[in-house]
Amino acid sequence: MIQFTNVNKWFNTLHVLNNINLQVKQGEVIVVCGPSGSGKSTLIRTINQLEPINDGKLIVDGKDLSDKSTDINKLRAEIGFVFQQFNLYPHLSVISNITLAPIKLRGLSKKDAEEQAMQLLTRVGLAEKRDVYPSQLSGGQQQRVAITRGLAMKPRIMLFDEPTSALDPEMIGEVLAVMQDLAKSGMTMVVVTHEMGFAREVAHRVVFMDAGTVLEEAPPEEFFCNPQTDRAKQFLNQLLTPMHGATCN
């Protein structure tokens, strides 16, 4: 589904992605973690070309991103992206936020798009918020709407860039529950997050990054209980709630 081969990226002289090799298969849930500045956000943003790569090969859903003939807008429509800061459209109501792209890009009728949006809103528990504006919602609610906006395009891949980092602690759970539900439904997901409980429960693999390189790549049990590098050990020790260690023998 997603294939990084020797991918490199620089911001001027800063080498933000250093020879990345990574494969994500259909239906897999990958959690990317690591200290801030390690390049994990940049990594996930290259997948829908919010950040173009400088070198190497990146294939997403069968399309080579460096190939000039790849229609990037068409590809992006197949990839849902959830931002740390939600980035809902403040001038549109919840329902319009969700139906805008399906109507304009998929050619759905307003009625069909709204019907589908209401099903999704019900699934995330926000059906009664259809006509309010983003500024009237809490952070957790906004993020659930943002996830719904992504899902409304029936994407083949969902990308999450620190979806809970801007939320108050008591709102993190409601967003993670939606993501967990989504993971169980078989969606291909790449999630940048510090929520190790989530990683442990739903990830198929955890990718640990530092200084632009992938240092470790392992199933969650293995990564949390038996990290191979000192950098990963240090990182895991610094997490305040050692949930990840709870069931290690």
CA distance 143 to 149: 10
CA distance 120 to 112: 13
Q: Does residue 211 belong to the site contacting other proteins (CB under 8 A)? A: no
Q: Does residue 134 belong to the site contacting other proteins (CB under 8 A)? A: yes
Residue with smaller CB distance to other proteins, 154 or 233: 154
76, two tokens: 């992006």
- Rounded to 10°, the helix 139-151/110-123 angle is 130
Residue identified by tokens 């800063």 is 14
Q: Does residue 83 belong to the site contacting other proteins (CB under 8 A)? A: yes
State in angstroms the smallest separation of the CB of 197 from other proteins.
Answer: 27
Residue type at 92 in one-letter notation: L
Residue with smaller CB distance to other proteins, 7 or 159: 159
Q: Does residue 73 belong to the site contacting other proteins (CB under 8 A)? A: yes
State in angstroms the smallest separation of the CB of 220 from other proteins.
Answer: 27
Nearest partner of 197 among 151, 164, 154, judged by Cα? 164
State the greatest distance between any 2 C-alpha atoms of the chain, in Å, as a whole number. 55
Binds other proteins by CB under 8 A, chosen from 4, 33, 81, 108: 81
Burial group, residue 59, by CB count within 10 angstroms (0-12, 13-18, 19+): middle
Q: Does residue 14 belong to the site contacting other proteins (CB under 8 A)? A: no
Q: Does residue 149 belong to the site contacting other proteins (CB under 8 A)? A: yes
Q: Does residue 76 belong to the site contacting other proteins (CB under 8 A)? A: yes
Residue 70 near residue 56 (C-beta atoms within 8 A): no
Residue identified by tokens 């191979």 is 228
Q: Does residue 187 belong to the site contacting other proteins (CB under 8 A)? A: no
Range in contact with other proteins (rule: CB under 8 A) among 23-31, 53-61, 82-90, 212-220? 82-90
Q: Does residue 154 belong to the site contacting other proteins (CB under 8 A)? A: no
Q: Does residue 74 belong to the site contacting other proteins (CB under 8 A)? A: yes
Residue 69: CB partners within 8 Å, gap ≥ 6? none
Q: Does residue 100 belong to the site contacting other proteins (CB under 8 A)? A: yes
Q: Which residues would be at the binding site for other proteins (CB under 8 A)?
A: 48, 50, 73-79, 81, 83, 85, 87-91, 100-101, 104-105, 133-135, 149-150, 153
